[in-house]
Amino acid sequence: LAKTTQPISMDSYEGQEVNITCSHNNIATNDYITWYQQFPSQGPRFIIQGYKTKVTNEVASLFIPADRKSSTLSLPRVSLSDTAVYYCLVGFNTGFQKLVFGTGTRLLVSP
Amino acid sequence: EAGVTQFPSHSVIEKGQTVTLRCDPISGHDNLYWYRRVMGKEIKFLLHFVKESKQDESGMPNNRFLAERTGGTYSTLKVQPAELEDSGVYFCASSQDISYNSPLHFGNGTRLTVT
């Protein structure tokens, strides 16, 4: 299963766009890239998933370059409630979903 | 739909005692997973059920941990006897199938403290 590397923490202000980049140099051909969000005292919550190029949903966008060795989660116009830990995971499509969580990125949004 | 529910939300027990954690997956989800975060460390996979069968239990730390899913509905994770290093947050997750477009839905976890 591919190992991921993310920044440990990031700071932002309300209304700004936040981009969190994840490195996954040994991603396999069949692997998908998935991002989860976790608030204190809650379980991780699925945000977005992609294989290549760009994926957008109602809460975020995911940018994946052609070589797929990295990915960027983009949160448009963050609010205080976006303060959380964000996890990048790869190796989703392995036949069963044995997710491998890294340390995640702790995002702090200030007023 | 109701989400994944876990009980209890917190448990404090003494070393050597037994604790049983329960997870109710989303109705209709055949796949059920247990994960845990030991204090200060990453969330780690424990095991995966498909219905009542253990698909993968490679993450179970030792034989003091026993997971069951009788009837393929709810699951229990028993720790017997508990040790100090078992303290942490135990998460349960479920998914409808194992395809790439079936993300895991997590419960809010059970915080276990062994004193």
The 10s digit of each residue's pLDDT in B29-53 is 999 999 999 987 889 999 999 999 9
Asked if pLDDT for residue A101 goes beyond 60, the answer is yes
A chain contacts of residue B4, beta-carbon cutoff 8 Å: 43
d(CA B32, CA B97): 10
Which stretch of DSSP H or E encloses residue A108?
A: strand A105-110
pLDDT value at residue B102 = 77
pLDDT score for B93: 94
**What was the pLDDT predicted at A96?**
52
Q: Is A29 on the interface with B (CB under 8 A)?
A: no
Q: Give the helix ranges, DSSP H, for B1-115.
A: none
Bridge partners, B76 (sequence order): B22, B68
Residue recorded with tokens 């990915």: A71
B31 and A CB contact within 8 Å: yes
Question: Considering the domain boundaries, does residue A4 fall inside one?
Answer: no
pLDDT in tens, B64-84: 999 999 888 999 999 999 999
Residue type (1 letter), A56? T
Q: Please count the residue pairs, one from chain A and one from chain B, whose beta carbons lie less than 8 angstroms apart.
A: 59
A48 Cα to chain B: minimum distance (Å): 9
Q: Which strand ranges, in their side-by-side order, compose the sheet holding A61-64?
A: A18-23, A70-75, A61-64, A53-56
Locate B103 and state its tokens: 């993300």
In a domain, A2, yes or no: no
Count other C-beta atoms under 10 Å from residue B92's C-beta.
29
> Looking at the predicted structure, is the pLDDT value of residue A87 above 60?
yes
Q: Is B55 near chain A, with CB under 8 Å?
A: yes
pLDDT band at residue A6 using 50, 70 and 90 as cut-offs: very high
For residue A82, give the CATH number of its domain: 2.60.40.10
Predicted confidence at residue A85, as pLDDT, reads 96
Would you say residue A92 has pLDDT above 60?
no
Q: What is the mean pLDDT of residues A33-49?
A: 93
CATH 3.40.640.10 fits B5-114, yes or no: no
Name which residue leads in pLDDT, A29 or A39.
A39
Confidence of residue A8 (pLDDT cuts 50, 70, 90): very high
* Contact predicate B29/B95, CB 8 Å: yes
| Residue A39 resides in a domain | yes
Residue A58 belongs to some domain of the structure: yes
Burial of B90 (0-12, 13-18, 19+ CB in 10 A): buried
Give the domain range for residue A80.
9-110
CB contact under 8 A, B103 and A96: no
Run of H or E including B36: strand B31-38
d(CA B3, CA A37): 16
* pLDDT value for A19: 98
Q: Give the C-alpha separation, A5 to A90, whole Å.
A: 11
Residue A1 located in a structural domain: no
Query: What is the CB neighbour count within 10 angstroms for residue A90?
Result: 24
- Is the confidence at residue A58, as pLDDT, over 80? yes
Residue B101, pLDDT > 70, answer: no
Instruction: Give the percent of chain B with pLDDT over 90.
Output: 78
pLDDT at A100 over 80: no
Query: What average pLDDT is seen over chain A?
Result: 90
pLDDT, residue B17, reads 98
Contact A96 B56 (CB under 8 A): yes
Number of domains in chain A: 1
Q: Are B100 and A42 a contacting pair at CB < 8 A?
A: no
Tokens read off for B46: 């424990």
Q: Note the pLDDT of residue B54.
A: 93
What's the token pair of residue B114?
């062994």
